[in-house]
Chains A and B, each alone.
Chain A
Amino acid sequence: MKMYILICCVAMLGIAQAQTTTMFVYEGKFNSSFGRSENFRQFKGTLMISGDRSLFTMKETGAHLASVQGNNIDLRPDSMFTVFKDVESNSLLFEFSDLNQRTHLFADTLFPMDWKTSEEQRSIGGIPCRKAVTQFKGRGYTAWYAPTITIPDGPWKLGGLPGLILEAYDDEDNWHMTFVSKQEVQGFDQDHFLAAMKKGTEGFPAFAAQVKKIFSRLQSSLGAQSSANCVDCQTKSVIKFHSWEKID
């Protein structure tokens, strides 16, 4: 009987630990014009970690600092850079919102980054951190990770370092996330992502194909319209597409 109670206690403790979720809160910015002009918005990032699984997402806060005004169609989703990671199954899913603001899930490689670590150190929120740099999908990134927090995770798709990434930014500082606090939370809804993983999710090439399809749709619709209505005028109309991650 004593043995049975002991086993039950150990099992319950295990379940309780598995359900413990820590939310790491980040603050930062994102320039949706990616360096071509200033179009910065402030964001709050949350990285919720429960066992081997985590969910990162970014929501807009504060002021919108833009040099671009008017003539804009804003189709940004409420949450951006949303990424679900499962280290145990070596899986990563990310969200993408299309022209109709429908969200789709795609799979990507978990932590493919080839990090170059250095001896450079600094403290973030009182936690000692080390510097690492990498190239990922067409951009250079710097990460400051905490060797004392032995979680190989970080904001967005970044991770795979011997410690949690507490600050990350790209070389042009168009995207920047800095850790500000952490707290224990109830957990997060994993069912949506686990169901997608079980069902089988298309990978990054399918995401790239969908983006190209959207661009093609816009291009053809714009190409079909008539141009200038001025007899003496000569008009050149150009549509350019830009993606945060290099997709070709």
Chain B
Amino acid sequence: MKKLILSAAMMFAAFMTQAAVGKQIEEVKFKSGEEKVSTVVWGDEVSPGKEALCTITMKGRIDLGPIEAEVSCTTSATTCEAATVSAISCLSAAMRTVRTVIL
């Protein structure tokens, strides 16, 4: 039980540290690479206002071997918690949609 409380406290502390920094947190850091095919942007553009303190990016991949599609959702919000929840929700919905298309 103590271990569980300690783990939860550590996770909360780590989360608060990231939130305090207020910078973009990426699930995966990608090196800059040449776009071999095309880039298509969908959804609403982010233009963080003064109140947006935290930006979160979540990424997912559809791997076909020699070709790959990469889906990313970037959310800005006043708190990192809200941004994370929204980015996860966006990516989950996107990947669900892809699965629907495939099946």
Which residues of A are in contact with B by a Cβ distance under 8 Å? Answer: 32-37, 67-68, 71-77, 80-81, 96-100, 138, 211-212, 214-215, 217-219, 221-230, 232-248
- Judge if B2 is at the interface, Cβ distance under 8 Å: no
Contact partners of B33 in chain A: CB under 8 A: 34-36, 242
| Complex CA distance for A218 and B43, rounded to whole angstroms | 14
- The chain A residue sitting closest to B37, CB to CB, is A241
Contact partners of A138 in chain B: CB under 8 A: 34, 36
Q: Cβ of B90 and Cβ of A235 under 8 Å apart?
A: yes
Q: Cβ of A73 and Cβ of B40 under 8 Å apart?
A: no
Which of these, A32, A73, A223, A230, contacts B85 with CB under 8 Å? Answer: A230
User: With A35-B31, A36-B33, A230-B77 in contact, is A76–B97 under 8 Å at CB?
Assistant: no
User: With A71-B61, A228-B89, A234-B47 in contact, is A218–B98 under 8 Å at CB?
Assistant: yes
Q: Cβ of B75 and Cβ of A37 under 8 Å apart?
A: no
Q: Cβ of B73 and Cβ of A237 under 8 Å apart?
A: yes
Query: Smallest CB–CB gap between B75 and chain A, Å?
Result: 5
Query: Smallest CB–CB gap between B24 and chain A, Å?
Result: 11
Within 8 A of A (CB), among B88-102: 89-91, 93-95, 97-102
| Complex CA distance for A222 and B5, rounded to whole angstroms | 40
Q: Cβ of A37 and Cβ of B30 under 8 Å apart?
A: yes
Q: Cβ of B86 and Cβ of A230 under 8 Å apart?
A: yes
Q: Cβ of B78 and Cβ of A76 under 8 Å apart?
A: no
| Complex CA distance for A248 and B34, rounded to whole angstroms | 13
Query: Smallest CB–CB gap between A70 and chain B, Å?
Result: 8
| Complex CA distance for A222 and B30, rounded to whole angstroms | 22
Q: Cβ of A244 and Cβ of B98 under 8 Å apart?
A: no
Contact with A along B42-75 (1 / 0, CB 8 A): 1111111101100000111111111111111111
| Complex CA distance for A225 and B60, rounded to whole angstroms | 16
Which of these, A32, A73, A228, A246, contacts B75 with CB under 8 Å? Answer: A228
User: With A227-B90, A229-B89, A234-B48 in contact, is A221–B101 under 8 Å at CB?
Assistant: yes
User: With A232-B78, A232-B82, A236-B44 in contact, is A33–B68 under 8 Å at CB?
Assistant: yes
Contact partners of A97 in chain B: CB under 8 A: 64-65
| Complex CA distance for A28 and B36, rounded to whole angstroms | 23
Closest 5 A-B residue pairs measured CB to CB? A237-B43, A71-B60, A244-B66, A230-B86, A236-B46
24 A-B interface contacts by CB (under 8 A): A33-B61, A35-B33, A37-B30, A72-B61, A73-B60, A81-B66, A96-B66, A211-B67, A214-B67, A219-B42, A223-B43, A225-B97, A227-B44, A229-B89, A236-B43, A236-B44, A236-B73, A236-B75, A237-B41, A238-B43, A240-B72, A241-B37, A241-B40, A242-B70
